[in-house]
Amino acid sequence: MNIRDKVAVIGAGCSKFGENYDKSAEDMIVEAAHDAYTDARIDPSQIQAAWVGTLSSASAGNALADPLKLFNIPITRVENYCASGMDAFRNACMAVASGMYDVVLALGFEKLRDSGQRGLGTFGDHPVVGYGTTAPSLFAMAANRYFETYGIDKTALAKVAIKNHHNGTMSPKAHFRMEVSEDQVVNAPLICSPLGLLDCCPTTDGAAAVIICKEELARSFRPDPVKVKGVGLSVTSGEPYMKPSFAYTGFPATAQAAQSAYEQAGMTAKDIDLVECHDCFTITEILNYEDLGLCEKGEGWRYVAEGRANIDGGAVPVNPSGGLKSFGHPIGATGIRMIYEVSQHLWGKAGDRQVKDAEVGLAHNLGGPGSVGCVTILANS
């Protein structure tokens, strides 16, 4: 079944992302949800079901039921690594497209700054191979392989950080709102060589929400609903380092999810006006350009270096929000925050970072050791 034009986004909301020590997870959930309710011009009593994306919370459906007083309706928790939020959105879309519900909520959140953890922990289930592998070490291997394959160095990565930090200065709800220079990025303290501090996204607190309804009902809520054209999900091996064929210069889960979304939408990468992609590290964004079909293999570093990823770059702008690098990465919230961001551009409400004449947007999550890819395509007609 194809969900193209069967589902619409009628409202989107987002809390301030950052070190929200003065807010609980419940505070951010309420902020994001009521922002979305207001945007959709609906009363919470109209929500018939909900999906919540979160990696670390153990409170399941009650994470929404209690703070939002959404009692006696189905609420499902979704956890799928860093794609948890977008997968929650995907499941909500399928439920509406099936005819089961008319109006639903998808919300993602995470409270990471108070957790005491420095990051996501280790990947891999094998007792020896991959034991102790972390997100920085895995993506550092990808960076080193890309450097060796295509003959570039850390200055290529710095272009991503410079762009995304600049975009973040125009995002009022972003975690970081500061410019950085090439010298700062290249000479930042090492996290896992060659990735330095400014090559890595932060651990962040935040929540984001979207209201979804049947396409035929959408204009009864607002005159300009955003249509869901396609949502692709792919899961590959969670232990890529055990596959001799894994080159570390791209992630098949992203390419497969993108192909699925393009096929559902009846589009190609040439139809996309803006992209919000999963730049957990600067190297990841460069690989994403290639895996999403914005450029050929080995050309990702040129795509950013030549300014083609800039908001006014003349090609397809990437991460006008500032991306994970600047906006922040509260795991479960990120995918839905991307839906929020793309919707702002399609509604013409993105302020100083607005992509001119945006009609079609793509959002992309990459989860775990590059094993979970999720891609959503949205359009305003």
Helix axes 282-291, 135-150, angle to 10 degrees: 60
Phi/psi region, residue 298 (left: phi>0; alpha: psi -120 to 50; beta: rest), is left
Across the range 339-347, mean pLDDT stands at 98
Per-residue pLDDT, 238: 82
Across the range 169-189, mean pLDDT stands at 98
**What SS3 class is residue 342?**
helix
Global pTM value: 0.96
Is residue 96 within 8 Å of 7, Cβ to Cβ?
yes
User: In order of start, what are the domains of the chain with their CATH numbers?
Assistant: 7-116+201-379 (3.40.47.10)
Phi/psi region, residue 373 (left: phi>0; alpha: psi -120 to 50; beta: rest), is beta
Per-residue pLDDT, 369: 87
State the pLDDT confidence band at 58, using cuts at 50, 70 and 90: low
The yes-or-no verdict on residue 57 having pLDDT over 90 is no
pLDDT single digits (tens) 285-317: 999 999 999 999 999 999 999 999 999 988 999
Is omega for the bond preceding 223 within 30 degrees of 0, making it cis?
A: no
State the pLDDT confidence band at 123, using cuts at 50, 70 and 90: low
Residue 45 contacts by C-beta under 8 Å, 6 or more apart in sequence? none
Active-site amino acid positions? 82, 329
Q: Which DSSP helix (H) or strand (E) runs through 94?
A: helix 84-97
Burial pattern 119-155, b for ≥16 Cβ within 10 A else e, equals ebeebbeeeeebeebbbbbbbbbbbbebbeebebebe
Across the range 200-208, mean pLDDT stands at 96
pLDDT single digits (tens) 215-257: 999 999 999 999 999 999 999 988 777 778 888 999 999 999 9
State the pLDDT confidence band at 170, using cuts at 50, 70 and 90: very high
**How far apart, in Å, are the Cα atoms of 367 and each of 46, 76, 233, 254, 372?**
32, 20, 11, 10, 5
State the pLDDT confidence band at 133, using cuts at 50, 70 and 90: confident
Question: Which DSSP state fits 355?
Answer: P
